[in-house]
Structure 1
Amino acid sequence: MQTVVSVLLEEALPRVVTITLLIGAGVGLANLAVEYGLVTVVARVGRYLTEPANLPPEVGTAVLTNTVSVTAGYGMLAEFREEGLLDDRATLIAVVINTFFGFVQHIFTYYGPVLVPILGVQVGLMYVGARAGISLGISLVGLLAGAVLLRGYEYDPHALDPETPDEEVRTTRDKFRAAGTSTLERLRSIVPRLAVVYSVVFLALEYADRILEALAGVGITEPAAAVDPIAGLLGLPGAAVPVILVSLVDPTTGAITVAPLIGDVLTPDQAVITLLVGSLVSLTIGTVKRSIPFQFGIWGASFGTKVIVVNVGLKAAFILVAIAVFFVA
């Protein structure tokens, strides 16, 4: 077992530094876009997403940014909320709409180059299609929620206007300096939260054996005992249980584990259901390991909790829908 210092230096610190750089890039781009008036230009494309949801056109910039970097996209939304362009309700709806566009990035960075070769073309495309449908369904819920809940909302059109004295002409250096100053101020409020929460989470994961002892104390001596009923309910063979358990820790390893079983032990549909069940069960670990530190770091504990509840609730609901579709098909 690693020492506390090694966990903080080898696990927490690299993650905090990486996310800080990405958030800084997102917030910095948002500030530069405001300084140069680019938000309005990009928003013309994003308006097709924001108009149906009654969101200001500037939000389209953040939504489209998610296709390149989810962290940068969230950073831009955080900046819009901080500047008063969005209130909490509008921000939550924007976050939900972001879901599919964040998934698009992962098609090119993870699902396509990693999972499809592991699972094979048929099962790989079936699983990626299922995940795409889940993400798209969540985004459509966001659009519908905005159309209903944000009807009649009025936004401050000057919330993102750079503050400049009348008749003052600012140079490129002035604009970059203003954007840099605003970005650093935002990071000063985010980075300490990131450092604290990530440190706590990684230390908790390192000493996770205490959790297993607690489970044993309530009668669950083997993790498989909690998964067996789920697999049985869906008619999955016993070989699916280890895959689900492995997926709790690492989805890629879960895919590697299920691949040799396709055709002989599991049908393509059963393989996809197994991976979906694994992703559903692993939501808890993913929330603790990634969502809580990330969302708390960006939004703070209060609003971050709302974002996590909405994200996890919608994701769980649509994963269940996807499982039901494959089960009935």
Structure 2
Amino acid sequence: MQPSAFLPVLFEVLPRVARIAVYIALGVFAANLVVAFGLVERIAGLSRYLTGPANLPDEVGTAIVTTAASTTAGYGMLAEYRESGVLDDRATLVAVTINTFFGFVQHIFTFYWPVLIPILGQEVGFMYVGARAAIALAITLTGVVAGAVLLSGRNVDATAVAQTDGAGEASEDEQSLRSMLEDAGRKTWKTLRRIVPRLAIVYVLVTLLLRTTDLESFTALASPLTNLVGLPGAAVPIVVAFAFDTTAGAAAIAPAIGQTFTPKQAVATMLIGGIISFAVSTFKRSIPFQYGIWGPEFGSKVIAVNTGLKIVFIAIAVAVLVA
């Protein structure tokens, strides 16, 4: 490949990787400080209703709370807990699943409320956001049930936090604020050195692949899906638009609500657009991000679990809407 073709990709990817690295650093640094200051009990109070039945340690509650503010930071915390031995792979997958609803919450205030609902109108807007919230909550509860059934003391080790953070070297009273900050900084740098290079490499490779791959072929799935659930033919271009850009899809369907589409049909159409978009977003965003955080092997498992559960519960929601 000519350097002239590679450099634009590099300039496109590096700011994205830098932004993600900042969020990961904040998440991991916060996770270490929370443990060092003994704040786990306070922060994880509400989330214990989820982590307790799922047989997960209280530390995971800090990641859940953080995910509501930043998905990347929340994932950074979970990566730290997995790396330190607090969670094994099975427990990490359960924790990632439970995080789903809290990752959705942040989008309510940053996108759904200020952007999507005004475009769609209150009735359809609230129906759509409510459907997405119900889907996310169902996935989170599925994670809780999975943890209750599949996890035991063999899958988690809360004492690994203390061992990894050096808590055995000095008591909390003996540690100065400076030493705790330095220790958290060292652990954060160690995590970044492991994750960021891998993240950058995968992002570059995927971006290069996107330049030579026609992702629009995935939208060939739109027509069979809309026909299967009995939606109007006009749903196909809406699904295609929605798969590539949520705002554009919402703007395209809004004028047709009440004429071509009933409110329920409109919501079902947008949800099907979400199914198609997973094929695109997985390729463009999930693979680089998850591989960067976890590595290819475990990252593939996270993607499979996330995507599989979303498709299942979106399909159930569509079936209810068109019934």
| TM-score, structure 1 normalization | 0.91
Question: Partner amino acid for 2:268?
Answer: I
1:140 counterpart = 2:141: yes
**2:6 — aligned with what?**
4
- Greater shift, 184-193 or 197-206, is seen at 197-206
**1:247 — aligned with what?**
242
Distance verdict in 2 for CA 1:48–1:225, change over 3 Å: closer
Structure 1 distance, partners of 2:149, 2:282, is 28
Structure 2 distance, partners of 1:142, 1:226, is 29
Question: Partner amino acid for 2:42?
Answer: V
Structure 2 distance, partners of 1:295, 1:194, is 8
Cα-to-partner distance string for 1:268-300 (whole Å, 9 max, x where unaligned): 111111101110011111111111111111111
2:202·2:288 contact (CA, 8 Å) conserved in 1? Answer: yes
**2:150 — aligned with what?**
149
* Structure 2 SS opposite 1:128: helix
Distance verdict in 2 for CA 1:184–1:207, change over 3 Å: same
Structure 1 distance, partners of 2:170, 2:101, is 42
Distance verdict in 2 for CA 1:166–1:14, change over 3 Å: closer
Aligned-residue offset at 1:39: 2.0
1:69·1:105 contact (CA, 8 Å) conserved in 2? Answer: yes
- The gaps in structure 1 that reach 5 residues or longer are 216-222
**1:200 — aligned with what?**
205
Distance verdict in 2 for CA 1:102–1:186, change over 3 Å: same
Structure 2 distance, partners of 1:13, 1:320, is 36
* Structure 1 SS opposite 2:175: coil
Distance verdict in 2 for CA 1:262–1:189, change over 3 Å: same
Q: Tell me which of 230, 234, 239 is aligned to 1:235.
A: 230
**2:74 — aligned with what?**
73
Cα-to-partner distance string for 1:82-114 (whole Å, 9 max, x where unaligned): 111111111100100000111111111111111
Structure 1 distance, partners of 2:169, 2:232, is 71
Cα-to-partner distance string for 1:92-141 (whole Å, 9 max, x where unaligned): 00100000111111111111111101111000000001100110110110
1:169 counterpart = 2:168: no
Distance verdict in 2 for CA 1:208–1:157, change over 3 Å: closer
2:64·2:102 contact (CA, 8 Å) conserved in 1? Answer: yes
1:246·1:254 contact (CA, 8 Å) conserved in 2? Answer: yes
Structure 2 distance, partners of 1:270, 1:154, is 43
**1:189 — aligned with what?**
194
Distance verdict in 2 for CA 1:224–1:201, change over 3 Å: closer
Q: Tell me which of 296, 309, 326 is aligned to 2:321.
A: 326
1:23·1:71 contact (CA, 8 Å) conserved in 2? Answer: yes
Structure 2 distance, partners of 1:74, 1:311, is 13
Q: Tell me which of 250, 259, 273 is aligned to 2:254.
A: 259
State the aligned residue count.
Answer: 316
Structure 2 distance, partners of 1:288, 1:242, is 21
- The gaps in structure 2 that reach 5 residues or longer are none
**2:112 — aligned with what?**
111
Question: Partner amino acid for 1:326?
Answer: L
2:54·2:148 contact (CA, 8 Å) conserved in 1? Answer: yes
1:8·1:202 contact (CA, 8 Å) conserved in 2? Answer: no
Distance verdict in 2 for CA 1:308–1:226, change over 3 Å: closer
| TM-score, structure 2 normalization | 0.93
Structure 1 distance, partners of 2:109, 2:182, is 35
Cα-to-partner distance string for 1:186-226 (whole Å, 9 max, x where unaligned): 000000111011111112222234x67xx6xxxxxxx7654
Question: Partner amino acid for 1:317?
Answer: V
**2:283 — aligned with what?**
288
Structure 2 distance, partners of 1:128, 1:224, is 23
- Greater shift, 171-180 or 118-127, is seen at 171-180
Structure 2 distance, partners of 1:71, 1:157, is 22
